[in-house]
Amino acid sequence: MTTRPALVVRLLLLLLVLALVTVAVGGARPASGAQDEARGLVQAYLDRSPASALAVAVVDDGTVEVSGYGQDEQGADVDGGTRFRIASLSKSFTAAVVMRLAGRGELDLDAPLTATLPEFTMADDRAGRITLRMLLAHTSGLGDGSTRDLGQPGWTDPEVLLADLREETLGSDPGTRHVYSNTGYALAAVAVERATGHPFDAVLQAELLGPLGMRATTSVPDCAGEVEGVGTGHTAVFGRVVPFPEPHDTCLGSGGMVSTADDLARWARFQAGDGRAPGGERLLSPEDLRELHTAQPGTEGVGGYGLGWSFAEQDGFGFLEHDGAMVTWTSHLSIVRAPDGRPTGDAAVVLADTVGAPGPLARALAADAAGGTGTLPDQSLIRPATVSAVLMVLVVLAGAVGLVRSRSWPDRRHRVASRVAGLLGPAALGALCVVLPNLLARYAYGSPMGVPTAWSWGAGLLPEPVLLIALTGLTALLVLLARLVSLTGAPRARTNGPIRLRGSTRSVP
């Protein structure tokens, strides 16, 4: 039988336990509540940017929570081990492996690139001042306009890259201006291969991926290179996700990595550490790791850019981050920065097999992990798909009117000049539509791009506007053909010379 004092003691202990539990729960959001918030953010993103497969990893003070949405090409549910192409997020790995080799004295960040690549020359004397640091900070003066036709996998052979650059010039003095350059990262990868005597992917595996336990991560030099477990990318047309083949392009060092949410969570935790791998092996000194995360000279115009890392702000937090965007695959890794600029243990990675812009989602999830309130920016009420749909309707209506009126068009165009103009108008519009994606690509990327390649890239990145262009061109062609057919049965066009009318002379106006 329990005595009264013993019962009182037990009751007091029970109350103490309940009080401690209450304090613990009241001091932080319940796990289920935080997960519900994360799911709500992801669903809000998917409502705006649908995806066939999407994986999310949230790192909360070192603890990782992974969730998957949709299915991969084999029909398996997406999880932390599903492989995605991560595009330009690969640059953070290229910069890290260069820094690791520099820490061992095998590379020098601030020596001329020609010290490692003596065969690197350009039709510009300033190229001799380019360093690895400038390549990694995008301040070398190289853009992507000094490259071969996009869409061609020619750079899988480094000799082709070096040969192409011999005829090119720089866009600015080395070290003075930030201009994003995949070409620069390709050169950095070639320098790694020259310094080590091994393929770039093998160096990544030995120096970083293996020690960090990132066993599902690999790298290929061609953006569309085959990788086990990686299927076809997707695009979204009027909200419907459709498969779309990734065009060939050079991704050596700049965007050819394939990874998983699990592995990239490991990468995020490494950034917030002291440069050691989980097993204790030192991969980078704390100083070298800090240098990767520090804005480099010449990048002030873009708000700063480190070595393979960019910076952003959202929801009251600063972020160390990098995005990745191919024609059909997208990725984003955001790590919350402490007040002194150092990365913390709170981060989020978003991977999708469909074109999109997951940066705001990654930042919102990371802000949530850091104890803030993550939000997605309000989306404009006017969307490209909506505008394109309205314009398509107008094009169809205009085309229908043009086709109907084509039957009587020759009767209204008696003069030769008028008929020629009536034919040249739709012909010129159709020709413009054929080359318009090429002109837009040259403007956006600063690079030459063949017409077929430009249409392929445009159809993946901006399918609705490209469909509008195609519909406009097709409509112009149909109107042109209809007018030509009408002309075959029309009376011969009249000239501007005088004609006789009841014995008087009168000029046709």
Nearest to 263 by CA among 66, 448, 425: 66
Under 8 Å between Cβ of 325 and 95: no
Q: How far is CA 495 from CA 415, 416, 484, 499, in A?
A: 6, 7, 19, 9
Q: Break the chain into its structural domains and give their ranges.
A: 48-369, 384-497
Residue 448 has what pLDDT? 61
- The type of residue at 151 is G
Query: What would the pLDDT profile of 98-145 be if each residue is shown by its tens digit?
Result: 999 999 999 999 999 999 999 999 999 999 999 999 999 999 999 765
The per-residue pLDDT for 155 is 57
Lowest mean pLDDT among 4-8, 67-71, 262-266, 309-313: 4-8
Q: What is the pLDDT of residue 234?
A: 93
Work out the end-to-end distance of the chain between its first and last CA atoms, rounded to an integer number of angstroms.
Answer: 122
| Spatial contact of 397 and 403, defined as CB atoms under 8 Å apart | no
Q: What percent of the chain has pLDDT over 70?
A: 84
Answer with the residue of higher pLDDT: 372 or 408. 372
Specify the pTM: 0.84
pLDDT of residue 462: 83
Centroid of chain to Cα 469? 23
Q: What CA–CA distances, in Å, run from 65 to 219, 235, 260, 490? A: 25, 27, 13, 74
Whether pLDDT at 284 is above 70 = yes
Residues 6+ apart with CB under 8 A from 402: 426, 475, 479, 482
At a CB cut-off of 8 Å and minimum separation 6, what does 62 contact? 269, 345
Residues 337, 341, 344: CA angle, nearest 5 degrees: 35
Q: Would you tell me how many other CB atoms lie within 10 Å of the CB of residue 446?
A: 16
Provide the pLDDT confidence category of residue 414 given band limits of 50, 70 and 90: low
Distance CA 304, CA 281 (A): 31
**Highest averaged pLDDT of the listed ranges 22-26, 101-105, 153-157, 457-461:** 101-105
Mean pLDDT value of segment 93-99: 98
**Nearest partner of 210 among 345, 375, 100, 286, judged by Cα:** 100
Q: What is the mean pLDDT of the segment spanning 1-29? A: 36
User: In whole angstroms, what is the distance from residue 508 CA to residue 14 CA?
Assistant: 108
Handedness of CA 90, 123, 110, 176 (dihedral sign): negative
Confirm if 449 and 248 have CB atoms less than 8 A apart.
no
pLDDT of residue 487: 80
Q: How many CB atoms lie within 10 A of CB 60?
A: 20
More confident residue, 419 or 275: 275
Spatial separation of the C-alpha atoms in residues 193 and 221, rounded to whole Å = 13
Q: Is the pLDDT of residue 445 over 80?
A: no
> Nearest 5°: CA angle at 390, between 388 and 396?
95
pLDDT surpassing 70 at residue 48: yes
Query: Per-residue confidence at 200, pLDDT binned at 50, 70, 90?
Result: very high
Higher pLDDT, 509 or 357: 357
Q: pLDDT class for 460, splitting at 50, 70, 90?
A: confident
Using 50, 70 and 90 to split pLDDT, how confident is the model at 492? low
pLDDT band at 451 (very low <50, low <70, confident <90, very high): confident
Residue 249 or residue 364, greater confidence = 364
Give 3-state DSSP helix, strand, coil % of the chain, rounded to 5. Answer: 45, 15, 35
The answer, yes or no, to whether residue 501 has pLDDT greater than 70, is no
pLDDT higher than threshold 90 for residue 16: no
The CATH classification of domain 48-369, taken from the options 3.30.565.10, 3.20.20.150, 3.40.710.10, 3.10.20.30? 3.40.710.10
Contact assessment for residue 54 and residue 78, using Cβ atoms and an 8 Å cutoff: yes
Q: What would the mean pLDDT of 395-409 be, rounded to a whole number?
A: 86
Identify the residue with better confidence: 286 or 162. 286
The answer to whether residue 259 scores a pLDDT higher than 90 is yes
User: Cα(54)–Cα(397) distance, rounded to whole angstroms?
Assistant: 39
pLDDT given at position 440: 79
The helix or strand, by DSSP H or E, that contains position 243, with its residue range, turns out to be strand 240-243
Q: What is the pLDDT of residue 206?
A: 98
Instruction: Say how far apart CA 156 and CA 145 lie, in whole Å.
Output: 18
Mean pLDDT (the chain) is 85
DSSP characters over 410-468: HHH--BHHHHHHHHHHHHHHHHHHHHHHHHHHHHHHSS---HHHHHHHHHHHSHHHHHH
CA distance 68 to 76: 11
DSSP assignment string, 452-490: HHHHHHHHHHSHHHHHHHHHHHHHHHHHHHHHHHHHHTS
Distance from C-alpha of 127 to C-alpha of 109, rounded to nearest angstrom: 15
Residue 197's pLDDT band (boundaries 50, 70, 90)? Answer: very high
Confidence of residue 439 (pLDDT cuts 50, 70, 90): confident
Q: 3-class DSSP state for residue 150?
A: coil
* Per-residue pLDDT at 500: 45
Q: Is the dihedral of CA 192, 197, 202, 203 positive or negative?
A: negative
Q: Between 466 and 191, where is the model more confident? A: 191
Sheet with 310-314, side-by-side order of all strands: 63-70, 53-60, 343-352, 330-337, 317-325, 310-314
Cα 187 from Cα 132, distance rounded (Å): 9
Nearest alpha-carbon partner for 95 in 314, 290, 386, 375? 290
At 210-221, the pLDDT tens digits run 999 999 999 999
Spatial neighbors of 180 by CB under 8 A, at least 6 apart, are: 138, 143, 144
Q: Mean of the pLDDT values across residues 337-346? A: 94
Residue 482 clears pLDDT 70, i.e. is over it = yes
Q: What is the pLDDT of residue 382?
A: 59
**pLDDT attached to residue 113:** 97
Q: Which residue has the higher pLDDT, 389 or 198?
A: 198
The answer for residues whose C-beta is within 8 angstroms of residue 206's C-beta and 6 or more apart is 198
pLDDT-derived band at 388, boundaries 50, 70, 90: confident
Instruction: Grade residue 222 by pLDDT with cuts at 50, 70 and 90.
Output: confident
Q: Which of 67, 57, 52, 45 is nearest to 89 (CA)?
A: 57
- Mean pLDDT calculated for residue range 366-386: 83
